[in-house]
Amino acid sequence: MDMQRRNFLKIAGVTALAGISAPVVVNLTSSALASSDQGQTAVAHPAPSGAHGEDAPQGVRLGLLIDMRKLYGHPELLDKATAACHKVHNVPKIDNKKSEIKWIWKTPFANAFTDQSNNHASKTARENDFLVLCNHCDEPPCVRVCPTKATFKDKKTGIVAMDYHRCIGCRFCMMGCPYGARSFNWMDPQPFIKELNPNFPARMRGVVEKCNFCGERLVLGKEPACVEALKEVGAIVFGDLNDPQSEIRRILDKEHTIQRQAALGTKPSVFYIV
C-alpha cells in the first residue's frame, strides 16, 4: 500500500513536470528550426515591398524642380513667382505673420531645409532665400489627418488638392504638414485681395488654403504660374516625374537634387538643385 502510494506520487510528479515543460521545449526547438531556415528564405525571397525600397507610384505624377543656382542673388525673381501665383489664385496679402496666406514664398535655407542646416553653411545658403511651396507629397500627412477628406490626393495627377467646400477649418492639416505649406483664413480674405482674377474663386473665412499646382491652368494647356513667371531664367521645371522622356526627369537623372525633409518619408514631388 505504501509502495503503491509512493509510486503513484512519483509518476504523478514526473508527468506534471513533463506537462509543464513540454511547451517550452517545443518552442525552443521550433524557433531553433525556424532561425536556421530564415537564412535560406531571406536569400530565396527578397524582402516584400514594405517600408523600404518601395516602387514609385505609377501613372502621372506631377512634380517641380527648382534650380536655385539660377535664382541666387535675385530675390526679386522669387517675389515675382510669388506675385504671379498669388495674383492668379486670388490670394490675399495680409501683413501679419499669424494671418498671412502663402501658396509659394521665400524663406531662408535653415527654414526650408531644417534637417540640412548647420553652423557652417555656405555663404550661398546663408545669404539667399529659397523658394518653397506645397510639396505635393506621395505620402501626404495632411491628407491622412483631414477628417472631412477636404484635402485629398488626386490619383490621376498626384496633386494634393483642396476642396474648399468641404473644409471645416479644423487645421489638422496645418499640424500635419511638415512644410508649413498651408495657411488658414482667420478673416474674410476678400478685402485683402488687390486685384481679382474673375476666373478663379477666392476663399472664405475659416478654411485652409494652399498651392494647387495650378490644376485649373494645366487643363487649359498652360504651365503653372510660378513656372511661367520665371520662364526667362528657366529656374523652375514642371513635368511628369513618372515619364522618363519628360524634361524634369532628364534633369533629375543628370543633376543631384535634394528634397525638403526627405527623412520624414513624405516623398515630396518638389526637387531642388542648390
Instruction: Compare residues 45 and 165 and give the one whose CB is closer to other proteins.
Output: 165
Grid coordinates representing 248? 524634369
Least Cβ distance, residue 101 to other proteins (angstroms) = 13
Read off the amino acid at residue 117: S
Beta strands in the chain (DSSP E): 62-67, 104-108, 129-133, 151-153, 160-162, 183-184, 208-209, 236-240, 270-273
Residue 38 CA to chain centroid, in angstroms? Answer: 35
- CB-nearer residue toward other proteins: 56 or 219: 219
Q: How far is the CB of 94 from other proteins (least distance, A)?
A: 16
Cell 532665400 found at = 129
Which of residues 5 and 165 has its CB atom nearest to other proteins in the complex?
Answer: 165
Beta strands 62-67 and 270-273 are parallel
CB atoms within 10 A of CB 61: 19
Residue nearer to other proteins on the CB measure, 72 or 152: 152
Q: Are 248 and 258 in contact (CB under 8 A)?
A: no
Q: Retrieve residue 60's grid coordinates.
A: 502621372
Residues in the chain, total: 274
Q: What are residue 183's DSSP bridge partners?
A: 209
Q: By the criterion CB under 8 A, which residues form the site for other proteins?
A: 87-88, 90, 152, 154, 156-157, 161, 163-165, 190, 193-204, 215-216, 219
Nearer to other proteins, 70 or 87 (CB): 87
Which secondary-structure segment (H or E) carries 9?
Answer: helix 2-44
Provide, rounded to whole angstroms, the least separation between the CB of residue 215 and other proteins: 8
Could you tell me the smallest distance in angstroms from the CB atom of residue 151 to other proteins? 11
C-alpha cell at 63: 512634380
Smaller CB distance to other proteins: residue 117 or 197?
197
The vertex-194 CA angle with 190 and 195, nearest 5°, equals 100
How far apart are CB 252 and other proteins at their closest, in Å? 24
Q: Report, in Å, the least distance between residue 45 CB and other proteins.
A: 38
